[in-house]
Amino acid sequence: MNKVILALGWLALAVSGNALALETLPIQGSDVATSWDSLYNFLVYLSIFFFILVMGAVVYFAVKYKAKPGVKARYITDHHLLEGIWTFVPFVLLMVIFVWGYVVYEKMVRTPSDAYEIRVVGKQWLWQFQYDDGRTTINEVFVPTHRPVKFVMTSTDVLHSMFIPNFRVKQDVVPGMYSSVWFEANLPGKHQIFCTEYCGAAHSQMLAQVIALDEVEWKEWSRGKKILTESIPKAGTRLSDASGSLRTTDQTQMSAAAPTLSLVEQGRAHFKGKGCVACHSVDGQAKGNLGPTLKGVFGNPVALTAGGSATRDENYIRESIENPMAKVVKGYNPVMPTFKGQLSENDLGALIAYIKSLQ
Ligand SMILES: [Cu+2]
């Protein structure tokens, strides 16, 4: 009898544990969060159902078939119907989970092509954000609501990971390459960012905020106004009548050092300053046979000397600059010097933005 009470105790504990799991999710700050939660809740309810079913059967059979003196247990071999059911039902359920999971995953990883891009650099121990207009911010990133936003991310030192619980998105940030994550914030206000890859002593303090701005505020920010972030509440707690313009200052001062050049202009300056212009044209004309033109290359495939082709995305351009021998463009000699170590992550981000703009 004691064992039965113990089993029932475990049962109650497990069920309440699961019920708690349903209550502890952060608020839903993006559309993906809603789909993600539905799947998560389905999994929890399914687990509760089967937990009760299996544990209930264990307890029931333990009592019903308790060994009695003088009674020999009957030996049962197979039961096709039963076996068929317990194979088919889990198969169908797992397929439902697989397809559903795939659909949500697809939504999370397929970045809309019109997404607003922000470059992110993770370093021990802060997050830096770089915008098209040349501004940078530290540990706060300003994004519009109801518009897809894409982070193109890299690290200057070790592995970090961008995790925004309210949006249910997470992506590793890796030194030497770019990874990306996208979301569409649907709730204005502050959303917490965590670094979720252990990255050294102050890892737990590598925190930042997504500051999702409503339409009015986003316009102000885009015009170069400073947003008074202290007065912006956590997402979900915002008063409906709060007007964005109240939270911007009248001076055109920036949240970070005021940039004189946009990102593309900064990239153009590096392109000149580092001597890329000696070998690469940007107008589609061939520069002798020194190097290929960089006009209209971004996003398009290129044939390689070693055979095959490569897509000229952020990572390809980066590799071309840091390790030019890795993929040599067909028809050219491998004469490009490496620029590894000569460009900061911000410079690289600007150069890539510039090459991207040469369409
Ligand atoms: Cu980190």
Q: What is the CATH superfamily name and number for domain 116-247? A: Cupredoxins -  blue copper proteins (2.60.40.420)
Residue 196 Cα, ligand 1 centroid: separation in angstroms?
Answer: 7
Alpha helices (H) along 24-79: 31-64
What does the pLDDT average to over 291-315? 89
- Give the pLDDT score at 250: 42
**Does pLDDT of 115 surpass 90?**
yes
Q: What percent of the chain has pLDDT over 70?
A: 89
- Give the pLDDT score at 21: 65
**Does pLDDT of 249 surpass 50?**
no
Residue 226 Cα, ligand 1 centroid: separation in angstroms?
Answer: 27
In tens, the pLDDT along 71-81 reads: 888 888 888 99
| Same fold across 116-247 and 263-357 | no
For the entire predicted model, the pTM comes to 0.79
- Give the pLDDT score at 231: 75
- pLDDT, greater one: 210 or 227: 210
On average, the pLDDT of the chain sits at: 86
Residue 93 Cα, ligand 1 centroid: separation in angstroms?
Answer: 37
- Give the pLDDT score at 67: 85
Alpha helices (H) along 24-162: 31-64, 80-109
In tens, the pLDDT along 154-191 reads: 999 999 999 999 999 999 999 999 999 999 999 999 99
- pLDDT, greater one: 107 or 8: 107
Between the alpha carbon of residue 134 and those of residues 93, 152, 272, the distances in Å are: 50, 15, 18
Q: Report the top-level CATH class of 263-357.
A: mainly alpha
In tens, the pLDDT along 119-131 reads: 999 999 999 999 9
- Give the pLDDT score at 22: 65
Q: What are 169's strand-pairing partners?
A: 164
Which amino acid type is present at position 166?
A: N
Neighbouring CB atoms inside 10 A of 256's CB total: 16
**Does pLDDT of 217 surpass 60?**
yes
Residue 180 Cα, ligand 1 centroid: separation in angstroms?
Answer: 16
What does the pLDDT average to over 280-301? 84
Local confidence band at 331 (pLDDT 50, 70, 90 cut-offs): confident
Give residue limits of the domains in the chain: 2-109, 116-247, 263-357
Residue 318 Cα, ligand 1 centroid: separation in angstroms?
Answer: 22
Local confidence band at 246 (pLDDT 50, 70, 90 cut-offs): very low
Residue 268 Cα, ligand 1 centroid: separation in angstroms?
Answer: 31
- pLDDT, greater one: 282 or 127: 127
Residue 125 Cα, ligand 1 centroid: separation in angstroms?
Answer: 6
102, two tokens: 């795939």
Q: What are 212's strand-pairing partners?
A: 143, 189
